[in-house]
Each structure stands twice: as C-alpha cells, then as structure tokens.
C-alpha cells in the first residue's frame, strides 16, 4: 500500500546537536512538505518542495534545512541554530498541488525532544 | 489576524447530539477547503473537502460561504469515536500549500 513513512517516531536531541528526520513516500506525489506542531497550536509550515532539486522556505524556516534529491524523499535537518526544537514534526505530500478532493497525505510524525 | 481562525473549544457534548464548528479565513483568493480530523498525538487525517455547493458524507455536512469567507462543519448524531480535534484547512491563493487553523476540540461523552 502507498503511503508516507516518517522515522524515527521519537527522537531525543542534546543541546547543540544537529538531527535529521526522515520522510519517504511511495505515492508518486510531486510535492512534499514539513510542518511543525506545538501543543495546542496549529501546524506551521517549515519548508516545502514542489519538484526534485527545488524547495521553498515556509513561515518558520530559520534553524532548519532540507534537501530534495529524489522524488520519494524529503529529509529535514534540525540544526543547533533552532533554539526551541521540541515539537511534533509532520511530513506531508500531495499531487502537484493540494487541491480538493485530495489535499495532503500525512506521515505519522516524529516527536522531537531536547534533553 | 490569523489566516484561518477557529473557536478552540472544547465542545463537550453527549452522544447523539448535533454539533457545529465554524471557521473563517482571510485570503479571498483561496480555492481549496478541507476539514481534517486529528486524534491525540496522531497525524491529521482528511475528513472531507468543502465545496461552495455544500457537501455531505454520512453524518457530516460541510458548507462554504465564499462571500463571507466562512466554512462550517456539522456533525449529527455524535458518537464517542468522534472525539478529536477538527482542523479547518484552506489552500493558499497560489495553490501550492495548505494553511491550518489551530483546531476545535470535540469531546463526546456517554
């Protein structure tokens, strides 16, 4: 079955470390997205990519980096420059644009905690 | 002003009740509209798309008023399993990403 796989499910980061969150999809979707969700808040867009080798900053890109070398993969690196990285990170994908009736398909998320 | 605004709730209702959620959005150029459901500590899942003509899926009815930039979701005959957070989601004017409201929490009790 097609879907999006995020790994790991839980991740613990020490102060000053960079960590990379994996996101892989086999839906043949062109576009992929990274969102962050904090408790009681909505999803905020970090980065998105509509095509291989191209990506755009979202609303809160500072302290994060991404790459899109393959259509199936869109890893997110949380760098030491991100001062408050503890959050629930969600990866999503869509056909060329997230139009009705399909919207996004989400992965199951990675819960990142700074220790 | 937030791009998508929702009443955070929580809405506490008994089983069998009818409950309505409202949402407003600020970008008049938006062209796609959705309701997503998110269970505690899980990813959001698409509940239904929303169209100007209104649409229904079983006990769920969604309405869109473009003139007022207002979206609604009506749940009839609430079940315990409907307890979740409901996210109002609007496409950006450029069609390239979705913007999420903070969600309305629903708790259905016996």
Q: What pLDDT shows up at residue A1?
A: 67
A60 CB near a chain B CB, below 8 Å? no
Give the nearest partner residue to A42 out of B32, B33, B101, using CB atoms. B101
Condensed to tens digits (0 to 9), the pLDDT of residues B43-85 reads 999 999 999 888 999 999 999 999 999 999 999 999 999 999 9
Cβ neighbours of A100 in B, within 8 Å: 32-34, 49-51
A23 CB near a chain B CB, below 8 Å? no
Residue A14 burial class via C-beta count within 10 angstroms: exposed 0-12, middle 13-18, buried 19 and up: exposed
Condensed to tens digits (0 to 9), the pLDDT of residues B75-106 reads 999 999 999 999 999 998 776 899 999 999 99
Condensed to tens digits (0 to 9), the pLDDT of residues A62-96 reads 999 999 999 999 999 999 888 899 999 999 999 88
A99 CB near a chain B CB, below 8 Å? yes
DSSP codes joined into one string, A2-71: --EEEE-SEEEE-TT--EEEEEEE-S--SEEEEEEE-TTS-EEEEEEEEETTEEEE-TT-TTEEE--SBT
Which of A31, A36, A104 is the best mutation test for B, with the most CBs of B within 10 A?
A104
């Amino acid at each position: 079955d097609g879907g999006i796989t995020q790994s790991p499910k839980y991740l613990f980061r020490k102060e000053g470390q960079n960590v990379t969150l994996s996101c892989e999809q086999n839906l043949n979707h062109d576009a992929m997205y990274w969102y962050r969700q904090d408790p009681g808040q909505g999803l905020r867009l970090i980065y998105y990519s509509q095509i291989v080798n191209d990506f755009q900053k979202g609303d809160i890109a500072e302290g994060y980096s991404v790459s899109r070398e393959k259509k199936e993969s869109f890893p997110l690196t949380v760098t030491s420059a991100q001062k408050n990285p503890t959050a629930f990170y969600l990866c999503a994908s869509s056909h060329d644009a997230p139009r009705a009736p399909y919207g996004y398909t989400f992965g199951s998320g990675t819960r990142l905690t700074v220790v | 002003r937030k791009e998508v605004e929702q009443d955070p709730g929580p809405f506490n209702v008994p089983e069998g009740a009818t409950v309505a959620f409202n949402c407003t959005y600020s970008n008049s150029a938006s062209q796609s509209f959705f309701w997503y459901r998110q269970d505690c500590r899980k990813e959001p899942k698409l509940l239904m798309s929303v169209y100007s003509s209104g649409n229904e899926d079983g006990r769920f009815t969604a309405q869109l008023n473009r003139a007022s930039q207002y979206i609604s979701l009506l749940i009839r005959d609430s079940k315990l399993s409907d307890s979740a957070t409901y996210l109002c989601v609007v496409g950006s004017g450029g069609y390239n990403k979705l913007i999420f409201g903070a969600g309305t929490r629903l708790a259905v009790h016996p």
